[in-house]
């Protein structure tokens, strides 16, 4: 992976949304919600951001929940990633 985020940025890859509901109903493309669970691919070094010291609390491989419409989507090769600030990450999924 050659994408290295800067400052408090985090590169994430969204986890695919479920194609069917628990009751077995198959969802069409327009009925699916944008997934909010993602896997962290790379993190920035943290440091001084907007005059405040930022310590990175997530690490590559963590599964996280992000704000619904946060970040910048980028395509690198055939894979789509999203770059978000660490503050856009709401929780770590164990």
Residues across the chain: 94
Using alpha carbons, select from 75, 44, 72 the residue that is nearest to residue 57.
44
Whether the full predicted model's pTM is greater than 0.75, yes or no, is yes
pLDDT value of residue 68: 86
Domain contains 54: yes
Query: How would residue 87 be classed by pLDDT, with cut points 50, 70 and 90?
Result: very high
pLDDT value of residue 25: 72
Residue 68: which residues within 8 A CB-CB, separation 6 or more?
A: 34, 36
Using alpha carbons, select from 10, 15, 13 the residue that is nearest to residue 88.
10
For the domain that residue 69 is a member of, what is the CATH number?
A: 2.30.33.40
| Interval 17-68: pLDDT, tens | 656 667 777 665 554 566 689 999 999 999 998 899 999 999 999 999 998 8
How many structural domains are present in the chain? 1
Beta bridge partners of 22: none
Domain with 87, as residue range(s), is 9-93
Helices (H) and strands (E) in the chain, counts: 0, 8
Q: How far, in Å, CA of 18 to CA of 11, rounded?
A: 22
Domain contains 4: no
């Amino acid at each position: 992976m050659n994408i290295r985020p800067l400052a408090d940025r985090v590169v994430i890859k969204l986890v695919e949304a479920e194609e069917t509901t628990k009751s077995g109903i198959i969802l069409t493309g327009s009925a699916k919600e944008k997934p909010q669970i993602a896997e962290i691919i790379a993190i920035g070094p943290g440091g001084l951001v907007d005059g405040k010291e930022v310590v990175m609390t997530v690490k590559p491989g963590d599964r996280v929940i992000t704000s619904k419409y946060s970040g910048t989507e980028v395509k690198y090769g055939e894979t789509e990633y999203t770059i978000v600030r660490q503050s856009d990450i709401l929780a770590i999924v164990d």
